[in-house]
Chains A and B, each alone.
Chain A
Amino acid sequence: MRPRSLPFLLVVAACNGGLEPTNALTTCPGGLVGICGTVTFRGRVPDSTAGVYIVAYSTFPQAADDLLNFKPFPPPSLPLPGDTTTFYSVALPNGRYEWIVAAWVKQGALSPASADSLIYEAGFYRDGGDTTSHGTGIVVVNGTGTDSINIIVDFDTMHPISYYFPTP
């Protein structure tokens, strides 16, 4: 390489590859290991909202002690645009997940003691014709993005997670 070509090469090297306008995702981005899908919002967003998060439980929570055994942590929050549908993607470790839930979190200091009073189920993933009360949609993540994990969030019909605990 002739030394005089160095400045030219530097300029060429810097001329491309930066950020470009990119349309919002409608499918899982390449390289993602996790889940993707749509979230459809219904109802009025409560004023006390701290955020809405998509989280995954490896096993269905059976008691208050299980409430915080979700992945990922910290979870990415969803935008809250109102009566719209938005695409989401969440990175998750490889594995089998029994419950993918949209968790509405009330403003306040979240801790193990306050979890059941601050975390509400606002919607969850249903598999096909599933009509059970808490859903039976099992999702397996295996090295790629698992698509079409669609969820309807209804702010008018939310339940504390303990609502779904089995009767002792």
Chain B
Amino acid sequence: MIRRAAVPVLLVAIAFPAMGRCQTATLYGTVRDSATGAPLEAVRITLPGVRTVAMTNAAGRYRFEGVPAGQVLVSVQRFGYTPRADSVQVPVRDSLRVDFVLAANAYYLAPVIVTAGKRSQLVDRVVASVVVIPDSEIARRAVTTIDEAVDKAPGVQFLGGQINIRGSSGFEQGLGSRVLLLVDGVPANQGDRGGIDWDLIPVDQVQRVEIVKGAGSSLYGSAALGGIVNLITPDIPDGAHGRIRAVGGTFAPPPHSIWEFRDARGALERLDVSGSYGGDALRAAIAAGGWHSDGYRQQDSSDTWELSGRGDWYPSQSNRLHFLASWVSHQYEDPLRWCEFGRCPGDSGLAYQPFLIDTAVAGAFTRSDKGLFAATFEHRPSETASSWLARGSWLRTDFTDIRRPTGEYGVSNREGLELRGELESASNPGRVVTVGTELTRSDVTSDAFGIHAEGAYAAYAEGEQPLGAAPVRVTAGARVDLLNVDGGDISAVVSPRIGAVVPKGRLVWRASAGRGFRAPSLAERFVQTSLAGITVIPNPDLVPESAWSFELGNFAQVASRLTTDVALFWTEASNLIEPSVANGAEIQFRNVTRARLAGVDAALAFFPFTQRLGLKLAYTLLYAEQLAHDTVPEQPLAFRPRHLVTAAADYRLGRFTAGGDFRFMSRYERVELYPPSDPILAPKVLDLRARYDTGMLSVLLRAQNVLNYIYNLVPQQLAPVRAVSVTATVSY
């Protein structure tokens, strides 16, 4: 994580002269890179005190209409650059051009984040470890779904589509994520399985991702056991904007002829369009697209269609109604497990054929449709006054699995309501209290999970209090969740958190202790199915998992071009839900495991030779132990690597940028369900990219797993091989 020791306060209050709407003017200009002179896209231009916001286009241009005449403060921000603010005199009924030049710096993090405290906070006041993936990083990598970008964050790892933050989840077949997904602050884990659909929001609709590590249930409740991922959609800029993006690519063939399984290379194609319009009172954006992939192995093709929209209505200066709607249909073949010897035609006498599929799972296919609708009403008189918001949300997932001999289906809904207030003390500047209440209801109708519903009713409060002259900031709060399943007994879960931030010159120390929990998903409680003759039976008596997380962290601005962030973490978990043997020959989810996850997270960002070259390195050391219980001795938790290393580099020269990502993880110390013939590897994966921008057009060449390292992270599932793609984007 990269944090800032001192963030310039740009959003100073500005008083506009009282004047009528006729006394307005036009403000426009360009924003360029100080080193290269290249225009900068996606720079956020705001006029503090006014709700107006604009984003620069590919030519670096921005424009405001109807700016009140008089003295106006213009704030300019972009990730990876030092923010600027200028005060300008806007003439009446005229146009004023104001150009800006931004200098790149070592700070990769936005100065303000919104997830850690359920409110806007300067990042050096947050008691937890936070990673921010800005839009510039998402764009540089040209990812298809947002998990591809999240996977590059320090201390984060994906196993079979399941996110791990500091080893939180391991590999649980997608059930019961111990990480909470938010979309603009709205909880969006599935209502039935508790897992995460990473394609829920089109990647173009994500402006940045905030990742909070460690237990976060004191504000967010269930599932925030190991951390929180918040996908934040962008502001809609003034005026009309549009974009068309086309992607074409191909997968590398197997590196050994004995593994070949088709005559042609697999292809991938994508096309999407988006448009937006921002006016004084109304703003709206819409995006639609689809993509197809042949896949890189047998039985691996997929098609996806997506449609999303966002809008804002400002009935007055201090009120805003924001809505978000998204629908995605993903239809894909399921390469459930590769072919072991004797399990498919064409095994060629090999122990395993990673590109071929076990005959027993041939024809497996899934259709997964999902939709999210959320509406939020905010009342915020000014940046420093008390405010409140109310929101409602509806998440629906609908899946159909086609398997042999029979398939499964499930329809699930998750509805949520929240009322939240942010109270600022007039007599004690810096004291902030956040209070709120939440109501969540989930239901499922499925042949495997039955028909069930659960509710959660919660209230929370957290306060921040500055102490002393060099302000030590203390944060404390708690949340109470009342849980109910199918109208039965109500159980209560209390999740407190306390923490402090202590600035010391170029250092910022932080410490926190908090409790997290995860309520059992409806699927874990009520699943009743048969897998290859083995019966899975329900367990309605499951209780929530819980964990205490402790963290001591330090951010340091070592030099103008070097920042570091180090955190020691320690988590004690109990009642973890794991599949267990019941009655000798049945499987049942049970609260069995006590576990300890401890280690070190370290990251640094620097410009070693020139501002044109930025480097980031991150390392996570993890000790993950399942503690002794019943007859099971203490042993390593399955699917947790001891060492995880990520490195990223980006070089900019004029309109040209190039970069890459490297990732290494050590071998698992323990696995489950691996066939004896299946080797356990220490994967090393290198991605490269190059981009050229000219006017409204940008072209990006991307090579994933460029060395074509053949590996797997979960049993009998080949990880992606080398893929080369070209992305062309035209923006207006």
Residues of A within 8 A of B259 (CB): 21
- Across the interface, do B710 and A19 meet the contact criterion of CB distance under 8 Å? yes
- Across the interface, do B681 and A29 meet the contact criterion of CB distance under 8 Å? no
- Across the interface, do B349 and A68 meet the contact criterion of CB distance under 8 Å? no
- Across the interface, do B350 and A17 meet the contact criterion of CB distance under 8 Å? no
| Bound form: Cα–Cα A15–B707 in Å | 7
Q: For the complex formed, measure the closest distance between the CB of B610 and the CB atoms of chain A, giving whole angstroms.
A: 12
Query: Is the CB of A81 closer than 8 A to any CB of chain B?
Result: yes
Q: From A14, A50, A90, give the contact of B533 (CB < 8 A).
A: A50
Query: Is the CB of B256 closer than 8 A to any CB of chain A?
Result: yes
| Bound form: Cα–Cα A86–B586 in Å | 28
| Bound form: Cα–Cα A2–B190 in Å | 48
Given the contacts A19-B711, A86-B341, A111 and B535 also touching, CB distance less than 8 Å: yes
- Across the interface, do B677 and A110 meet the contact criterion of CB distance under 8 Å? no
Query: Is the CB of A22 closer than 8 A to any CB of chain B?
Result: yes
Q: For the complex formed, measure the closest distance between the CB of B648 and the CB atoms of chain A, giving whole angstroms.
A: 11
The segment out of B229-237, B483-491, B682-690 that lies at the interface is B682-690
Residues of A within 8 A of B587 (CB): 74
Q: From A14, A23, A24, give the contact of B709 (CB < 8 A).
A: A14
The segment out of A101-109, A120-128, A130-138 that lies at the interface is A101-109
Contact digits for B260-288, partner A, Cβ 8 Å, 1 yes 0 no: 00000000000000000000000000000
Q: Which residues of chain A from 114 to 153 have a CB within 8 Å of any chain B CB?
A: 115, 118
Residues of A within 8 A of B686 (CB): 10-11, 14
- Across the interface, do B707 and A11 meet the contact criterion of CB distance under 8 Å? yes
Q: Which residue of A lies closest to B358 (CB)?
A: A79
Q: For the complex formed, measure the closest distance between the CB of B258 and the CB atoms of chain A, giving whole angstroms.
A: 5
Query: For A19, A32, A105, which residue has the most chain B Cβ atoms within 10 angstroms?
Result: A19
Q: From A25, A84, A107, A115, give the contact of B677 (CB < 8 A).
A: A25
Q: Which residues of chain A from 1 to 58 have a CB within 8 Å of any chain B CB?
A: 3, 6-7, 10-11, 13-15, 17-25, 29, 32, 34, 50-51
Chain B residues within 8 Å of chain A by Cβ, number: 46
Residues of B within 8 A of A91 (CB): 676
Q: From A73, A86, A110, give the contact of B535 (CB < 8 A).
A: A110
Q: For the complex formed, measure the closest distance between the CB of B536 and the CB atoms of chain A, giving whole angstroms.
A: 10
- Across the interface, do B533 and A112 meet the contact criterion of CB distance under 8 Å? no
- Across the interface, do A22 and B532 meet the contact criterion of CB distance under 8 Å? no
- Across the interface, do A23 and B351 meet the contact criterion of CB distance under 8 Å? yes
Given the contacts A19-B681, A25-B351, A111 and B586 also touching, CB distance less than 8 Å: yes
Q: For the complex formed, measure the closest distance between the CB of A75 and the CB atoms of chain B, giving whole angstroms.
A: 9
Q: From B342, B350, B681, give the contact of A86 (CB < 8 A).
A: B342
Q: Which residues of chain B from 584 to 639 have a CB within 8 Å of any chain A CB?
A: 584-587, 608
Query: Is the CB of A94 closer than 8 A to any CB of chain B?
Result: no
Residues of A within 8 A of B256 (CB): 20-21
Q: For the complex formed, measure the closest distance between the CB of B659 and the CB atoms of chain A, giving whole angstroms.
A: 11
Query: For B533, B586, B685, which residue has the most chain A Cβ atoms within 10 angstroms?
Result: B533
Q: From A34, A86, A112, give the contact of B583 (CB < 8 A).
A: A112
Query: Is the CB of A77 closer than 8 A to any CB of chain B?
Result: yes
- Across the interface, do A22 and B677 meet the contact criterion of CB distance under 8 Å? yes
Q: For the complex formed, measure the closest distance between the CB of A37 and the CB atoms of chain B, giving whole angstroms.
A: 13
Q: From A32, A67, A81, give the contact of B676 (CB < 8 A).
A: A32
SS of A interface (majority) = loop
| Bound form: Cα–Cα A107–B350 in Å | 29
Residues of A within 8 A of B478 (CB): none
- Across the interface, do B350 and A110 meet the contact criterion of CB distance under 8 Å? no
Query: Is the CB of A157 closer than 8 A to any CB of chain B?
Result: no
- Across the interface, do B340 and A69 meet the contact criterion of CB distance under 8 Å? no
- Across the interface, do B534 and A21 meet the contact criterion of CB distance under 8 Å? no
Query: Is the CB of A160 closer than 8 A to any CB of chain B?
Result: no
Residues of A within 8 A of B649 (CB): 7
Q: Which residue of B lies closest to A111 (CB)?
A: B535
- Across the interface, do A110 and B676 meet the contact criterion of CB distance under 8 Å? no
| Bound form: Cα–Cα A91–B674 in Å | 10
- Across the interface, do B679 and A51 meet the contact criterion of CB distance under 8 Å? no
Q: Which residues of chain B from 651 to 665 have a CB within 8 Å of any chain A CB?
A: 662, 664
Q: For the complex formed, measure the closest distance between the CB of A163 and the CB atoms of chain B, giving whole angstroms.
A: 19
Residues of A within 8 A of B352 (CB): 22
Q: Which residues of chain B from 386 to 430 have a CB within 8 Å of any chain A CB?
A: 405
| Bound form: Cα–Cα A152–B681 in Å | 34
- Across the interface, do B677 and A109 meet the contact criterion of CB distance under 8 Å? no
Residues of B within 8 A of A51 (CB): 532-533
Residues of A within 8 A of B675 (CB): 76
- Across the interface, do A14 and B711 meet the contact criterion of CB distance under 8 Å? no
Q: For the complex formed, measure the closest distance between the CB of B150 and the CB atoms of chain A, giving whole angstroms.
A: 22
Q: Which residue of B lies closest to A119 (CB)?
A: B585
Residues of B within 8 A of A111 (CB): 535, 583, 585-586
- Across the interface, do A10 and B583 meet the contact criterion of CB distance under 8 Å? no
- Across the interface, do B709 and A110 meet the contact criterion of CB distance under 8 Å? no
- Across the interface, do B682 and A17 meet the contact criterion of CB distance under 8 Å? yes
Q: For the complex formed, measure the closest distance between the CB of A22 and the CB atoms of chain B, giving whole angstroms.
A: 4
Q: For the complex formed, measure the closest distance between the CB of A79 and the CB atoms of chain B, giving whole angstroms.
A: 3
Q: From B530, B535, B684, give the contact of A13 (CB < 8 A).
A: B684
Given the contacts A14-B685, A15-B707, A25-B351, A79 and B343 also touching, CB distance less than 8 Å: yes
Query: Is the CB of B712 closer than 8 A to any CB of chain A?
Result: yes
| Bound form: Cα–Cα A118–B405 in Å | 17
Q: From A13, A69, A78, A110, give the contact of B664 (CB < 8 A).
A: A13
Residues of A within 8 A of B709 (CB): 14, 17-18
Residues of B within 8 A of A118 (CB): 533
Query: Is the CB of B5 closer than 8 A to any CB of chain A?
Result: no
Q: Which residue of B lies closest to A13 (CB)?
A: B684
Contact digits for B233-250, partner A, Cβ 8 Å, 1 yes 0 no: 000000000000000000
Residues of B within 8 A of A109 (CB): 530, 535
| Bound form: Cα–Cα A22–B259 in Å | 11
Residues of B within 8 A of A7 (CB): 649
Given the contacts A19-B710, A20-B256, A23-B349, A29 and B677 also touching, CB distance less than 8 Å: yes
Residues of A within 8 A of B682 (CB): 17
Query: Is the CB of B354 closer than 8 A to any CB of chain A?
Result: yes
Residues of B within 8 A of A69 (CB): 584
| Bound form: Cα–Cα A130–B136 in Å | 72
| Bound form: Cα–Cα A158–B685 in Å | 50
Given the contacts A51-B532, A109-B535, A25 and B676 also touching, CB distance less than 8 Å: yes
Query: Could you write out 9 A-B pairs with CB less than 8 Å apart?
Result: A19-B711, A21-B258, A24-B351, A78-B342, A87-B341, A107-B533, A110-B585, A110-B586, A111-B535
Q: Which 10 A-B pairs have the closest CB atoms?
A: A68-B584, A79-B342, A50-B533, A24-B341, A14-B684, A18-B710, A68-B585, A19-B710, A89-B676, A22-B351
Q: List 9 additional contacts besides A19-B681, A22-B677; criterion CB under 8 Å.
A: A18-B681, A19-B712, A21-B350, A34-B676, A67-B584, A68-B584, A68-B585, A78-B342, A86-B342
